[in-house]
Amino acid sequence: MFFSAPDSTLGATGVNSSVHLSERGLARLKAILEDTTSIMHYLPERYYDPVHNRDGMIVMGVAENQLMTEDFNNYIKQHFALEKDHFRYREFLRCTNLTLQRGFVTNTDQALPLYINDTFSPLEPVTSENSVVGPGVGTLITEFFWQICDVGELALVTALNAVEIPPEVDPLSPEVVSYLEQRIKEEKQKPIRALILCNPHNPLGRVYPKETIIAYAKLAEKYDLHLLVDEIYGNQVYSSKVVPHPPPFVSILSLNLKELAGCNPARVHVVAGPPKDFGASGLRIGIFVSQNPALIKLLQASMMGNAISNSTDAIFTTALMDREWRNNFLAENKKRVGEAYDRVHAWCTKFGIPILESYAGQFAVLDLTERLNQLFPHMSALEQRTAAIKDMAKANVLMWHTGKDQVPTRFRMVFVCEPEILTLALRRLENAFQLKSVNGEN
């Protein structure tokens, strides 16, 4: 039996390092222990609950949709049923040539492609042959990068903090692609293997126009990159009083990229999934769609040891195959999200807080710069941001900042909580920032 020598660099953390960890594991552990910027440092042991913990923290920084959870729960109670095949390993349930046996029960290998075909209008129909079902979009993304990247290689995330874009440039416009290309050219040390695009955008809550999506595909083809598009919010474009006629979501799956961008379809991949649409983020399930047979084979093999729960499979198979109920549910969800956004927009207007117009997803971006300058005039923007987080935590409410934004004092508010909880959360924010109505209203 062999043991590694204690790692002195971790001694101060109190972690027992006398048993061997890989270099990769040690580096990851060090990063976790030294990260003081994560929202996890501010989350309480127990969240707010109207019955069990009325003084608990209301977290508005995690994208969980609570507006339809009870409706979905009621549907599950009435329709959920397990067949005997659900009590076997999922390999027996999946209809691929990697399984030992083939199941005889309809499952999400059929239901999720149907959902994507119905809602995203793909040019090539999604089937169990060109898709992989896994335990959440995050897991599928991780496995994807494990297959395409070697150690030290990079992916370029098209987010607020990835590439410095002038404030006057719309970050969802085709103009952004030139800045991305410059970043690719500047990277001399480590190869960039992929672009990641989140459409609709998180946290801006808007959809990318078709022209921008095509420009990304052209860029990927030019530099021999994979293009991974996260479309998890694709079914959450909503109308509101502020944006009564939002532009439609255009899935990259619906575009003929070979014709429009000269792009090899085998380099373009999509991840999506229903949990956020149904207010069920804890039921982890997602789908990876690709016209790249090699990647499909690799992810199928990965998912054999990292499969979704068969109970989750049964729940979503039932819900997604019930088309009439499903479509009504999605429509009601969009209605409630739009109403919640209108409430938040009106609240921001009342207190003179700039809010970016949003019409997709579960969040909106608030600019607290002016108010924080008033509260903390002698602090830098980053110091103001930290002070704002601490004041929110004291008031038992928490939004989270937008990362390495050019405006450090912008915050992402997840507003899709139950109406009475949203009312209380906004009241707590008023207390945290000592807000007064710009019109003198109460």
Express each pLDDT in 354-373 by its tens digit.
Answer: 999 999 999 999 999 999 99
For the chain, the structural domain boundaries read 35-64+327-432, 80-321
> Which two tokens mark 17?
């390092």
Per DSSP, the residues of 376-428 read: -TTS-HHHHHHHHHHHHHHTTEE-EE-SS-SSTTEEEEE--S-HHHHHHHHHH
* Residue of 161 and 50 predicted with greater confidence: 50
Confidence band for 159, pLDDT divided at 50, 70 and 90: low
Assign domain 80-321 to its CATH architecture. 3-Layer(aba) Sandwich (3.40)
Confidence band for 85, pLDDT divided at 50, 70 and 90: confident
Per DSSP, the residues of 141-169 read: HHHHHHHH--TT-EEEE-STTTS---TTS
- Per-residue pLDDT averaged across 255-265, rounded? 98
Name beta bridge partners: 194: 155, 226
One-letter identity of residue 354: P
The predicted structure's pLDDT at residue 441: 66
Confidence band for 15, pLDDT divided at 50, 70 and 90: low
Three-state SS string across 277-338, please?
CCCCCCCCCEEEEECCHHHHHHHHHHHHCCCCCHHHHHHHHHHHHCHHHHHHHHHHHHHHHH
* Residue of 247 and 7 predicted with greater confidence: 247
**For 425-434, what is each residue's pLDDT tens digit?**
999 999 999 9
One-letter identity of residue 412: R
* Residue of 321 and 18 predicted with greater confidence: 321
Confidence band for 406, pLDDT divided at 50, 70 and 90: confident
Q: Is 220 helix (H, G, I), strand (E, B) or coil?
A: helix
Assign domain 35-64+327-432 to its CATH architecture. Alpha-Beta Complex (3.90)
Confidence band for 49, pLDDT divided at 50, 70 and 90: very high
Sign for the pseudo-dihedral over CA of 290, 292, 294, 297? positive
Nearest to 134 by CA among 124, 142, 145: 142
